[in-house]
């Protein structure tokens, strides 16, 4: 079975109504990024950070996976071993049915102990709000998010997946967020690489650019990989 490794960014979730940070009208126009998404910001004002991610969780509950998420899952039934490496902290890939999802930047619907990062807890839909005073199993908790100024612990496993890819796909990312943008460097020479984005960044020679939204681009990729038309 061929291994399809897919690196996804904010563009794939934007079509489900999840606000991106960088685009016009994005979250960073409303919040200074270093206040809500950095280690220093959390130390300085944990109440604000908890409140910010509480809002993000409420918005996520209203969102649904879109056709791009569903088509990635559909490829599992077409003979592909699909691995998703996502920069997104939402759970839309999982809700679409993808069975192998690696989150580089953490998960919005989880929190972890402030004194032991190995203790991670999933929040219930009816108990999404946390504060610096929230205690679970005797531990104060923080958002299970990789903040700026913190290491990305899943990057090394992600590079190992990229090295094993028979086909590598990039969807909806600006290719400016590191270390995620560096995954392309780990793909073996000669492996087909597809990049789906309506406004693609400059990419190395040999990368097949599909200038389209995530949903339209995935329909095109589905046809390329399976020889079939994707159902809408």
Report whether 45 contacts 35 (CB < 8 A).
Answer: yes
Q: Which of 105, 139, 144, 208 is catalytic?
A: 105
Report whether 165 contacts 159 (CB < 8 A).
Answer: no
Q: Give the sheet arrangement for strand 167-171, strand by strand.
A: 101-103, 80-86, 2-8, 167-171, 193-196, 208-210
Catalytic residue list contains 208: no
Q: In angstroms, what CA-CA distances link 231 with 158, 218, 220?
A: 30, 11, 11
Nearest to 67 by CA among 177, 227, 196, 200: 196
Q: In angstroms, what CA-CA distances link 116 with 111, 126, 151, 154, 207?
A: 11, 25, 15, 17, 41
What lies within 8 Å, CB to CB, of 130 at 6+ separation is 50, 53, 54, 111, 123, 141, 143
Q: How far apart are CA 162 and CA 184, in angstroms?
A: 7
Residue 95 CB-half CA count within 13 A: 15
Residue matched to tokens 């056709």 = 67
- Catalytic residue list: 105
């Amino acid at each position: 079975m061929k291994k399809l490794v897919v690196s996804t960014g904010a563009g794939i979730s934007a079509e489900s109504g999840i606000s991106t940070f960088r685009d016009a009208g994005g979250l960073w126009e409303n919040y200074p990024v270093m206040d809500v998404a950095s280690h220093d910001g959390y130390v300085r004002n944990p109440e604000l950070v908890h409140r910010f991610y509480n809002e993000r969780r409420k918005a996520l509950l209203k969102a649904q996976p879109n056709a791009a998420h569903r088509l990635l899952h559909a490829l599992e039934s077409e003979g592909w071993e699909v691995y998703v490496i996502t920069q997104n902290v939402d759970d839309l890939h999982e809700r679409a049915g993808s069975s192998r999802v690696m989150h580089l930047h953490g998960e919005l619907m989880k929190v972890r102990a402030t004194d032991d990062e190995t203790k991670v807890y999933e929040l219930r839909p009816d108990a999404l709000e946390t504060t610096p005073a929230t205690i679970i199993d005797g531990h104060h908790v923080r958002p299970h998010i990789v903040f700026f100024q913190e290491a990305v612990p899943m990057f090394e496993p992600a590079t190992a997946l990229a090295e094993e890819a028979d086909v590598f796909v990039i969807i909806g990312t600006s290719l400016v967020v590191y270390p995620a943008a560096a995954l392309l460097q780990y793909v073996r020479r000669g492996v087909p690489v597809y990049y789906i984005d309506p406004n693609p960044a400059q990419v190395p020679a040999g990368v097949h650019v599909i200038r389209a939204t995530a949903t339209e681009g995935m329909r095109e990729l589905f046809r390329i990989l399976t020889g079939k038309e994707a159902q809408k």
